[in-house]
Amino acid sequence: MSEDAGAAGVPGAHAHHDNSPPALHIPTEQEKRQATVQEDAYPISPRRHTSTPNPFSRRNTSIDIDDYFTGPRDTSKHSKWPLFMQLHGSILPKMIVPLLVVAAWATLVTVLSKKVPGVNLGISSILLTVTGFVVGLGLSFRSSTAYERYAEGRKYWSQLIFACQGLGRVFWLHAVEREGSSKKDLLAKLTAMNLIVAFAVSLKHKLRFEPYTYYEDLSELVEHLDTFARAATEEHTIKPKVGLFKAVGENLGLSFAASNPRKLMKKAQSPLGNLPLEILCYLTAYVDELALNGQLPIPMQQTSAYNQLQALNDVLVGTERVLNTPLPIAYAIAISQITWIYVFLLPFQLFLELDWITIPATVAASYIILGIFFIGHEVENPFGNDVNDLPLDLFCQQIVQDMETIAARPKPRISEWVEHPKNKVLYPHSESGYSVWEQRPESAIRNALRNRPHAGFEKLDEKGIKEAHTV
């Protein structure tokens, strides 16, 4: 019993061991997460350590070797290497195996033509001109459609951030806290703002075909909600693991090593529902409650809240459209076949003029052609975990910080910032503060306003004369 008391830091627990230092109590993970009434934690972010990175942090800026193959890329990190020497974000890792295959093929064609008597596999290069235009047209179409999908995904997430900021302002600034129920209304506001974050995080996981709720940055945001995803998570609590062979194969772009991204959804034993849509239903119910209780007294405030909810729904439907309607498979197969046929015909057409240089020339030409082809394939789905995909984790963290910023202070009163003595109402033409101008007559204020354009014009004129003299 004394040992337990000593481990817990109870005074007198080491009465029989005066010379031994007191035992250091290391709290368990459960104790760290246990909420108390004295807890000084901000309720908007229930988890302090999540898998969502902080885009504004300067810590841990070194890049691990896995970061060269997995993503998305952390845009807050800066590289001083020239672009043509950078590997992080390059398509080169996924082109290693294809380029080795092309190099082996070019070597085979060249060696047979040089070393085997009576064998000359070289042909006229006229085929380069004829097929090059078709291949270029196909690659251009492939790249343009892929980037269009990438740009659409980027626009939808910027629209999401805009709608979250607007809805957060409505909840925090416009929703009135009723007298006698201010604490209850305050906690309801924070809960609703948590749901705004939960919508963004759940949308991120949905777009990555992660249909459950056991993810570290999502579980504590939605565990109190009655949703299909939470019910399915209770039946499917084992997180899938990726083997070494599959991980290496996916990093190298080997199609036979890639898993079906919808594998978890196909193996579900119960309905998964649509978690972002269900969260929208909870948010809509909250807005309805605010309107019925008179907490949004101005009709325009109610309209603004419902418009922001509709914007969130538009983002949900739009991102699902980008995800579920890729380039038609007929186009994808045809462009892939045409590109590879062109690459495999290169050694035959280059041998007559380049001889042994055919091998490196074929590899260099293949790098250019296949590079464009692979880039189009990688950016086609902008919501995944590739290096060049959209940094959805950073977007979600930005929304978290936006909600925390909005809720950091109560609704500001006009008198607090308008009548502040440091409010220089006519800056930069006057250094006088609000209190000074308040003591002056209204005619003096209007005269100052009337003369302000002339004063600004004279300053610009003087600046132009000084610049002319310096020249």
- The CA distance from 55 to 109, in Å, is 51
Integer CA distances (angstroms), 446 to 2, 415, 440, 449, in order: 80, 22, 11, 5
Q: Which helix (H) or strand (E) holds 336?
A: helix 329-354
Q: What is the structure's pLDDT at 116? A: 83
The distance from CA 401 to its chain's CA centroid, rounded to whole angstroms, is 14
Residue 230 C-beta-side C-alpha neighbours within 13 Å: 13
Predicted local distance difference test score (pLDDT) of residue 70: 62
Return the structure tokens found at 307: 């418009």
CA 167 to chain centre: 20
Residue type, 347: P
Cβ count near 309 (within 10 Å): 20
R_g over Cα of the chain: 32
Residue appearing with tokens 């909005």? 406
- The answer to whether the CB of 214 falls within 8 A of the CB of 231 is no
In one-letter notation, the amino acid at residue 283 is: L
Q: At what angle do helices 329-354 and 358-379 cross, to 10 degrees?
A: 160
CA 301 to chain CA mean position, Å: 29
- pLDDT, residue 373, reads 92
* CA dist list (Å): 106 to 110, 349, 371: 6, 11, 18
CA–CA dist 74, 385 (Å, integer):
12
- On the question of a cis peptide bond just before residue 326, with omega within 30 degrees of 0, the verdict is no
Tokens of 413: 């009163």
Q: What are phi and psi of 227, to 5 degrees?
A: -130, 160
> What is the separation of C-alpha 203 from the centre of its chain, rounded to a whole number of angstroms?
11
Give, for all 471 residues of the chain, the pLDDT tens digit: 444 443 344 334 444 444 444 444 444 544 544 544 444 444 443 343 344 444 334 344 444 555 555 666 666 676 677 767 777 777 888 888 899 999 999 999 999 988 888 778 888 778 788 888 889 999 999 999 999 999 999 999 999 999 999 999 999 999 999 988 999 999 999 999 999 999 999 999 999 998 888 888 998 999 999 998 888 876 555 555 656 555 555 555 556 556 666 677 667 777 888 999 999 999 999 999 999 999 999 999 999 999 999 999 999 999 999 999 988 899 999 999 999 999 999 999 998 888 899 999 999 999 999 999 999 888 888 998 888 889 999 999 999 999 999 999 998 888 889 989 899 998 888 888 989 998 999 999 999 899 888 776 666 555 555 554 454
pTM over 0.95: no
73 three-class SS: coil
Residue 98 structure tokens:
């294809």
Alpha helix positions (H), 36-181 = 96-115, 126-169
What does the pLDDT read at residue 312?
97
CA distance 203 to 320: 9
Structure tokens at 8: 């817990």
pLDDT of residue 257: 52
How far, in Å, CA of 365 to CA of 139, rounded?
Answer: 14
Provide φ and ψ at 118, rounded to 5°: 80, 5
- Is residue 372 exposed (0-12), middle (13-18) or buried (19+ Cβ within 10 Å)? middle
Distances (CA, A) of 291 to 175, 188, 205, 288: 9, 14, 31, 5
Nearest to 91 by CA among 373, 423, 419: 373
Contact 176, 260 (CB under 8 A): no
**Nearest Cα residue to 311 out of 323, 300, 319, 301:** 319
